[in-house]
A and B are shown apart, each in its own frame.
Chain A
Amino acid sequence: MSRARTILRRTFLFGSAAVAGGVAFGFYSYKRAPNNPLLSGLKDGEAALTPYVKIDRDGVTIITPRADLGQGAHSILAALVAEELDLDWNSIRVDHGQPSQAYYNGTVAVEGLPVAATDTGFIAQGGRVVADVAGKFLSLQVTGGSSTVADAYDKMRVAGAVARDVLLSAAAQQTGLAKATLTTRDGTVITPDGRALSYSSLAGAAAKIDPPARVRLKPEAEWRYLGKPMRRIDMVAKSTGTATYGIDLEMPGMVYATVRTNPRLGGALKAYDASAAEKAKGVLKVVPIAGGVGVIADNTWRAFQAASLIKFDWGPAPYPATTAAMFEAVASSFIPERQDSRFKKDGDIEAALKGASVMTAEYKVPYLAHAPLEPMNAVVQLKDGKLDIWTGTQVPVFLIKTAALMTGLLAENIRLHVQISGGSFGRRLEDDYVRQAIELAQAYPGRPIKMTWTREEDMTHDFPRPLGMARMRGAVKDGQVDAYDLNIAYPSVTASQTRRLNQSVPGPDVAIVAGAWDQPYKIPHYRVTGYRVPALVPISSWRSVGASGNGFFHDCFLDELIHAAGADPLKERLRLCWHEPSRKVLEAVGAMSNWGSNLGKDRGRGLAFTLSFGVPTAEVVEVTSTPKGIRIDKVFVAVEVGKVLDPVNFENQVQGGIIWGLGHAMNAELTYRDGIAEQTNFHAFESMRFDQAPQIEIRALTNTTQIRGIGEPTVPPCAPALANAIFAATGKRIRELPLSKQIAFV
C-alpha cells in the first residue's frame, strides 16, 4: 500500500495536494454514499429511489449523468437501469440531471495511473480502489477515457435493482400480498392474479420505504436488453432533424452572439476598433471579453458579419510562432533533464545494443484539431441573481465551480442544463467557450444569449492533440526482435489541462507514454522513456489521447524490427506477446484477414496492435498502390471487450474509431504560422471522405470478464496498420503523419 500511495502521490493527475489529502484522509469519509441530488425539489407523489431513478405521475425518468456526444451514452446508461428495473424500452425517458458529486466517475481517474491495464497485482488493484475514491472526492463527474460504461456497469444496474425492490415492497404494502409472490414487467408490478400496478401509482408509497442495502442482480441469461441489439433512444430525433443540440435552442427574448479572441492562443488583445461593428445592422452591443471581443446581435449571421468588421491588434503568441520551431523544441527535449518517466525497463538495453547492428529511426506526429461538426456554443442567461447555462459539456461539476468563481454567485443559484453535442472527441472537456458566454451575459444581463463560434474561430481556438516525436533504437538476433529502446517526447496534455485549473502536476504524465510503455510484449531488452517538452500551444485530450500518436510510434518501429529480423509480422508479435487475451485478438485478426495469403501485385497488408483503455485491439489494413495513389481497400479489426452490451452501437463506435484513426493519419494536421493555426476550415482539415471509407470487418472477443468502453481503443492501431500496409505494398517506410505528406491517397 505504501508504494501504491507513493506512486499515487507523485503521479495523480488532478493536483497532488487534493489527491494526497483524498487518499490519506478522504478514504473513509468518502466511502459513504454521496447525497441523492434528486431528493431536493421532489413534489408530492414523486419518488427518487436512487440518484439515477425518478418516478412521478407520468412515468420513470432515468438520470444519465454523462455527456452524450454521439457515442450513445444516454442509451446504454438507460439500458443498464431498464434491465434491472424491468422497464418498457419504448417508455424510457432520460434526463442528464443536475450536476452533482453523486455522479462521480471513478473509472476515468484510473486511466491516469501508471498501472498497466494488464496488471492485476495487488498494487495495481489497490491503486484502482484509491483512484475510485479519489474520483468521488474530487467530484469528477467527467465523460471521457472510454470510461462511461465501465464506471456505470454496476452502479446503474444496482440503481435499477434497488428501485425495483422498493417498488415491490410498496406494492406488497398496498395489496397486502407477500412480496415474494410479486413480479415486475414493463414498468408495472404484477400480482399473482394478474393485476398490473404501474410504478407511477406506487411512487408515493415507495418514497417512504428505505432502500435495501443489498440487492440481487439479474444473471446474464435473464437479460432482455443488454447484450442484444438496442434501438438508441435518440435515433428517431436524429433521423428527422428534430434532435435539439445546444446550438438549436430557441427561447423567448433570445439574442445571438459570437466572439473573436486572439488566434495566437493565450496572446493579449492590445487594441481594437469596433466602430464599424457597432453601427452594423442588428448589433445590440459590442463587449470586451478576456483576450478579445464579443458581438451581441439579433441574428447569428449579423453577429458574424459585425465581428468581421472589427479591427484587432493582437499581441504575440506565448509560444514559438511556427510548427518548425515547435518541432525543434520537441527535438531538443530528448535530454536527461526533461526525462518524465521510464515505466518500462526490461533487460539491459545498453548492453544489448553494444556490439549489435543497431537500427535507429525518428518518427513524428502533428497537432490535430478535434473539430466536432457542431461549433462551440453556449446559451447563457443571467437574470435576477440566477445564472442558467445550456451547453454540451463533459465536465459539468467543474463548469458550475467556474461559473460561481466568475460571477460570485452561490452554486445553488447556477443551473447547468447539459445538452447533447454534435461530436466532441474530447473538445468539450474544456470550458473556454462557456466562460466567454458567461462574460457576455454579465455585460448584457436579462435576456438569454446564444453564443456561437464561427467554424474559423473553432478551428483556430482548439486545444489540439499535441505534436510529438519518437527516437528509437533496436536490434534483432537470430531472426527475432531482441532489443527495443523507445524514446518519446511530447508536451504534457495533463499539465496543460491542469494549468488551466490553476493546478500543477508534480509527477510524470502517463499520457506521454500511454499506448507504448504498457504493451504486453516480452522483448528481452525493452525500454520506454518519456520526455516532457516545455509547454507550447495549449493542448487537451483528443480521441484516444496519448495512445493516438504512440500506437504509431511503438507499432511501426516494432514492424521495422520484425522485418529486419526476417520474421513474419503476425507470428513474431504472437511470439513476443505474453498476454493471453491480446494473443487471442492477434490470432483472430490473422484468421479474419487470411494473413499470409498472397494479395497480388501492388497490394499489401499491414498489421498493428495497441492495447489502450484496457482493450487489446488488433487491426489489419489492406491497400492497393494505384497509379494515382494509395487506396485503402479493407480493414479487419478484432478487439477484446469482455462484454458487448449493445452490438449495434458497438459496431458503430468501432467503425467510427477506424474512420477517425485512418482519416487523420491520411491527411490531417494543424500547422502554425505566425502563432496561428493555418487550417481554418474543413477544406484544409478533411480527414476521411465517404468515397475513401473502406469495408470494415469487425470481431468482438469476449474472453475476459472486464467491462470496457470502445469509443477510443480502435483509434491508435489505425495509423501504424496503414503505414505498415503501405510499406508492404510499396517498400516505402513512412515515419511521419499525416502520411499524405509523402504519398498520395485516392
Chain B
Amino acid sequence: MRLKVNGKTHDVDVENAMPLLWVLRDELGIMGPKYGCGIAVCGACTVHVNGEPVRSCSLQVGDLKGEVTTIEGLGSPETMHVVQAAWMQHQVAQCGYCQSGQIMAAAALLAVNAEPTDQDIDLTMSAHLCRCGTYPRIRLAIKTAAAELRKRKP
C-alpha cells in the first residue's frame, strides 16, 4: 500500500483495516500523533488528510484518500507554524500529550476561519480532551495565532 505523509511517499505492507494512527506510529515511526482512546473521543491522534482534521485512530488506512499531514509536517522546532509559535508564546503545554492533536485541530480551524469567535473555537476544540486543563491557554493561543495570520495577509 502506498501513502503520502508530510510530502513523502511510503510503501507499507499492512492490512486495510489497520487504523492510520498505527501505520504512522509503528510502521513509519511518525510519533507526533498520539494514541489516547482509540475511539475518536479524545482527539490526540488528529492529523490532516488533504487539510481536513481527521481522527487517525478511527480511519482505516484502506479508506484513506489523500495526503496526510501530521504535526511533524505542520512545522518544526526551527520553523514553527504560526499556531505552534502561539502555543510557545502562551506556554500552553503541561504534560503535552494531547497538544499535537489540539494544534492540528486549531490549525485546521484557522485555515478556514481567520476570525473565529469564542463559539467557533468552543465548537472545534470541545472535541479535544486535555486532562491537564490547558483549555484557557489554548483559547488565548488560538486568538494570538488568528491575529498573527490576519496580520500576514494583505
Contact = CB atoms under 8 A, between A and B. Distances in A.
Contacts of A174: none
A232 B91 contact: yes
Nearest to A242: B77
A248 B88 CA distance: 22
A465 to B, nearest CB: 14
Given A299-B22, A423-B132, A690-B135, A240 B80 contact: yes
A72 B42 contact: no
B122 A690 contact: yes
A236 B129 contact: no
Contacts of A374: 34, 36, 95, 97
A375 B35 contact: yes
Most buried by A among B41, B87, B93: B93
A248 B93 CA distance: 18
A643 interface: no
Interface in B97-149: 97-100, 103, 121-123, 125-126, 128-139
Interface string A539-559: 000000000000000000000
A488 interface: no
A459 to B, nearest CB: 9
B69 to A, nearest CB: 11
Contacts of A421: 95
Interface in B27-80: 27, 29, 31-39, 41-42, 44, 70-72, 74-77, 80
Contacts of A695: 136
A236 B77 contact: yes
Interface string B78-93: 0010001101100111
A250 interface: yes
Interface in A614-657: 648-649, 652-653, 655-657
Contacts of A243: 96
A202 to B, nearest CB: 31
Most buried by B among A648, A655, A687: A655
A172 interface: no
Q: How large is the interface on A (under 10, 10 to 19, 20 to 34, 35 or more residues)?
A: 35 or more
Contact of B126 (A237, A239, A302, A690): A690
Contacts of B27: 299
A239 B84 contact: yes
A245 B122 CA distance: 28
B18 to A, nearest CB: 6
Interface in A653-697: 653, 655-660, 663, 681-683, 686-693, 695-696
Given A231-B91, A236-B77, A250-B29, A423 B131 contact: yes
Interface in A88-139: none
A708 to B, nearest CB: 19
Contact of B25 (A237, A300, A455): A300
Nearest to A240: B77
B96 A422 contact: yes
Nearest to B104: A241
B133 A659 contact: yes
Interface string A240-271: 11111101101000001000000000000000
A80 B42 CA distance: 36
Contacts of B91: 231-232, 235, 648-649, 652
A61 B133 CA distance: 31
Contacts, number: 187
B11 interface: no
A239 B88 contact: yes
B94 A70 contact: yes
A345 interface: no
A658 B21 CA distance: 32
A372 B94 contact: no
A240 B84 contact: yes
A373 B42 contact: yes
Contact of A301 (B22, B29, B93, B122): B22
Given A241-B71, A690-B125, A372 B131 contact: yes
A234 interface: yes
A555 B62 CA distance: 55
A273 to B, nearest CB: 23
B94 A239 contact: no
B22 A71 contact: no
B116 to A, nearest CB: 13
Contacts of A250: 29, 31
Contacts of B97: 70, 245, 372-374, 422-423
Contacts of B72: 240-242
A553 to B, nearest CB: 23
A441 B82 CA distance: 44
A236 B88 contact: yes
Nearest to A653: B94
A682 B129 contact: yes
B120 to A, nearest CB: 11
Given A231-B88, A240-B77, A242-B76, 8 more contacts: A241-B31, A244-B31, A299-B22, A301-B26, A374-B95, A375-B36, A655-B136, A658-B133
Interface of B: 14-15, 18-19, 21-22, 25-27, 29, 31-39, 41-42, 44, 70-72, 74-77, 80, 84-85, 87-88, 91-100, 103, 121-123, 125-126, 128-139
15 contacts: A235-B88, A237-B96, A240-B75, A241-B100, A372-B95, A423-B131, A656-B94, A656-B132, A658-B133, A681-B39, A682-B36, A687-B131, A690-B125, A691-B123, A691-B125
Interface of A: 69-72, 231-232, 234-245, 247-248, 250, 256, 281, 299-302, 304, 371-375, 420-425, 452, 454-456, 648-649, 652-653, 655-660, 663, 681-683, 686-693, 695-696
Sorted nearest first, the 4 A-B pairs with minimum C-beta distance are A70-B95, A422-B97, A241-B32, A659-B133
